[in-house]
Amino acid sequence: MLDWHKVLIQRTATIRESIAVIDSGNLQIALVVDENRRLLGTVTDGDVRRAILRGHPMDGTVDGIMNRTPSTVAATDSAESVLVKMKQRQVAQIPVLDSEGRVVRLETLNDLIYAEVRPNTVVIMAGGLGSRLRPLTDDCPKPMLRVGCKPILETILDNFVECGFGRFYFAVNYMAETITNYFGDGQKWGVDIRYIREDKQLGTAGALGLLPEKQTEPLIVMNGDLLTKVNFRHLMDFHASQQAVATMCVTEYDFQVPYGVVNTRDSRIISIEEKPVHRFFVNAGIYVINPAAVRIIPKGSYFDMPALFEQLIKNEQATAVFPIREYWLDIGHMDDFERANVDFSHVFPSLNVDG
């Protein structure tokens, strides 16, 4: 049994400190309590990501972002009734309180959830030419370039397997046999791998139109040249909570203007900003797509993910953004590839074993 005492924090704790608590174990929650251990609120991964989107500073306190009315159960409740309430409210953890509102334990469904293979299909786009990484990609497709001790695509697969996913499609085109010969049907990893063969480049969404069977669960779609520590369970939970037809992962991109920016009104200077930093959310190349969204993708035509999202927005269908706060690197250029090799051993210690 996991030690729930380790997830207790004070309301003066910072958001950054709450992240450390959430990430430190498998309970995926921080319980905000007073000096008598009475529950004041909870902080989950979703609360943190929503705070990031609202621009909360990481050194701000959790008092400003915590859920002040979390689901709870009484210490006298039966295990059966607790399970029913967790299913009804779609929560994976629930604090147990005594008659004075003090936390006495934390009930969790994590063991049950992690033991099950997720029903969602993962589609990894692995057909790109990798032109910007030549000459490395002259005789090797970019997803098969070795970072650390293994191909990029194998690290992506390992991360999904750790998160409980077992159904995969690899969309392949350029030097497809290198990928299919290496991964086969996925038996070595204990998963099912199938292939979407693109006769021509179809973009980051077009290959979904070639899926052979009708999808009934949301898909995860990911570019095959990314290294990331995103928790894909959190991503799927977030997508479900947003009731969105599609979710795009985004990462923060900072751009510093190298000059002093002069702000004017008519012919007057009203302020001067010395080398200001502008922050944007940019597309991170990871998506969750509901079957209804897949159905609008044209079959056999080039179609990129941004075009799909633009169409969904035009149709007034709900789309969401999932801000990545974990490690993320798009291996698009040679310096990215070199950085990935430097980062690998300490970012992916559990995967730093040649399979």
Q: Do the beta carbons of residue 229 and residue 347 sit within 8 Å?
A: yes
Q: Is the per-residue pLDDT at 335 higher than 90?
A: no
What is the per-residue pLDDT for 42? 92
Do the domains spanning 4-113 and 117-351 agree at the CATH topology level?
Answer: no
Segment 311-328, tens digit of pLDDT: 999 999 999 999 998 889
SS3 255: strand
CATH topology of domain 4-113: CBS-domain (3.10.580)
CA distance 116 to 34: 36
pLDDT tier for residue 332 given thresholds of 50, 70 and 90: confident
Identify the pLDDT of residue 155: 92
103-154 pLDDT, tens digit each: 988 887 654 445 457 889 999 998 877 778 888 888 888 899 999 889 999 9
> How does pLDDT run across 224-263, given as a tens digit for each residue?
999 998 888 889 888 988 889 999 999 988 888 888 989 9
Q: Helices then strands (H, E): number in the chain?
A: 11, 19
Q: How confident is the model at residue 219 (pLDDT cuts 50, 70, 90)?
A: very high
Query: Mean pLDDT, to the nearest integer, of 285-289?
Result: 96
The two structure tokens encoding residue 98: 């005594």
Instruction: Please report, for the chain, the start and end positions of each structural domain, with discontinuous segments joined by +.
Output: 4-113, 117-351
What tens digit of pLDDT does each residue of 67-113 get? 999 889 887 776 667 777 887 888 878 888 888 899 988 887 654 44
Average pLDDT over every residue of 264-272: 88
Q: What number does CATH give the domain 117-351?
A: 3.90.550.10
Helix axis angle for 45-53 and 15-24, nearest 10°, is: 150
